[in-house]
Each structure stands twice: as structure tokens, then as C-alpha cells.
Amino acid sequence: MELLLGSQSPRRKEILSFFSLPFTTAKPPFDEEEHPFLGDPSAYVNLLSKGKAESLRVNFPDSLILTADTTVYCEGKIYNKPTSQEEGFDFLRALSGKWQSVFTGLTLGHKETWFHLVEETRVLFNPLSDAQIRAYQEAIHWPDKAAGYMIQGSGSLIVNRIEGCYYNVMGMPIQALSRLLLEFGIDLWNYLKSSS
């Protein structure tokens, strides 16, 4: 049974590659814009993750399909991938100095058996000046990231504190993924990679 990662995210591919578990990738033919946010961030990412998985079932009927969706939630509003640099600027300004929650919905399934999990991580931003936000946008690749920011590398400079799974903020919570894979008899402990 082949593991199919239904995502084009370089971060999700990178995190899954921490382990020697073989997998392939495919882009889900799923339009996220058709599903508006209705107030519950957990239900929202769960719905989108499920939708991505469902859209892959027809073309990959024999694969073990893994999909994910991540959003940032703060004060009743969600922050997905910014559609422009100005929108990304507005996102970071709105989140400056505030606690926010990063939600990732995971779906894993094969044929008629499906499991779903949602992971939440809380992140506190440092207060950011407009000049710092501009410098941040110049330094990192922001367009494909929820709320237009990253927690890894120099992107971490905006983060004051984190409560929960670090890898969830990158888009693939490892502990939640491990629990889902165990439902299909796949133990990530058997796929550890040696590091030098």
C-alpha cells in the first residue's frame, strides 16, 4: 500500500522526509475557495483536509492518502495564504504582539477507512514595526504560507513564544501524524533516519 501525500507544500514533504517511510506526492484537484470559513477553525481545516483527500480517491484508489490543511486563527478571524504582499503585510500587522492559534487538519485513509485529527498550536508574536514587517517580507518566501509567515529559519524572529507542536506551525504535526499512521499499522519508530 503506497503512501500518497496529497500536498504540494515543500514543508510537508520535508517533514515526512525526516523518516525513511516511502511516499509519493500529488496535488489534490480541490478548490478551497468554494468552502467559506463559518466560525470554527477546527471544523474548517478538518473540512478542507477531508475535501482534499476525497478529491484524490478517484485517481488513486489503492493508495493510502494523507492530506492536510493549515490556517491561522486570531480574534475570530482566519488568516490563510495572502493573495498579495499588501495583504500579507496587513496580516502580520494584525497579528503583531498577539497570541494566535495555528490549526492543522490531517486526514489519512485507504478505500473505506478514514481517520481525521486536528492539531492546535498557540503562537505569540513579538510586537512588529512596519519597517520590520517590510524587512521580513523581503527576507522570506511568504506567498505559500498561512498568514504569510514561517516559524523556521530567520522567520522565527517574529515569534516570542510557542505552546504546542512546532511542526504543526510548519503544516505537519508529527505526533498527530504518528497516531494516524498507527491506525494502519505504520509505526514511525520503524522508519527513523540516522543523522550525522
3-class DSSP state for residue 45? helix
Mean pLDDT of 165-170: 96
Mean pLDDT of 139-156: 92
The pLDDT confidence band at residue 196, using thresholds 50, 70 and 90, is: low
The pLDDT confidence band at residue 158, using thresholds 50, 70 and 90, is: very high
Burial class (CB in 10 A: 0-12, 13-18, 19+), 175: middle
How many whole angstroms separate alpha carbon 114 and alpha carbon 50?
Answer: 9
3-class DSSP state for residue 85? helix
Catalytic hit among 62, 69, 90, 130: 69
What pLDDT, on the 0 to 100 scale, is given for residue 149? Answer: 96
Mean pLDDT of the chain: 96
What pLDDT, on the 0 to 100 scale, is given for residue 75? Answer: 97
What are the pLDDT digits (tens) for 54-77? 999 999 999 999 999 999 999 999
Q: Which of left, alpha, beta for 185 (phi over 0: left; psi -120 to 50: alpha)? A: left
Q: Output the nine-digit C-alpha cell for 66.
A: 494523507
Query: Which domains does the chain carry?
Result: 3-191 (3.90.950.10)
3-class DSSP state for residue 134? helix
The DSSP element (H or E) to which 105 belongs, if any, is strand 99-110
How many whole angstroms separate alpha carbon 35 and alpha carbon 46?
Answer: 12
| pTM to 2 decimal places | 0.95
Mean pLDDT of 101-115: 97
What pLDDT, on the 0 to 100 scale, is given for residue 194? Answer: 83
What pLDDT, on the 0 to 100 scale, is given for residue 163? Answer: 98
3-class DSSP state for residue 22? coil
Please enumerate in sequence order all residues whose Cβ is within 8 A of that of 105, keeping only pairs 6 or more positions apart, or say none. Answer: 42, 44, 45, 46, 47, 48, 49, 50, 68, 69, 70, 116, 117, 118
How many whole angstroms separate alpha carbon 14 and alpha carbon 40?
Answer: 29
Residue 62: active-site member: no
Mean pLDDT of 129-156: 94
How many whole angstroms separate alpha carbon 66 and alpha carbon 10?
Answer: 15
In the predicted structure, residue 176 carries a pLDDT above the cut 90: yes
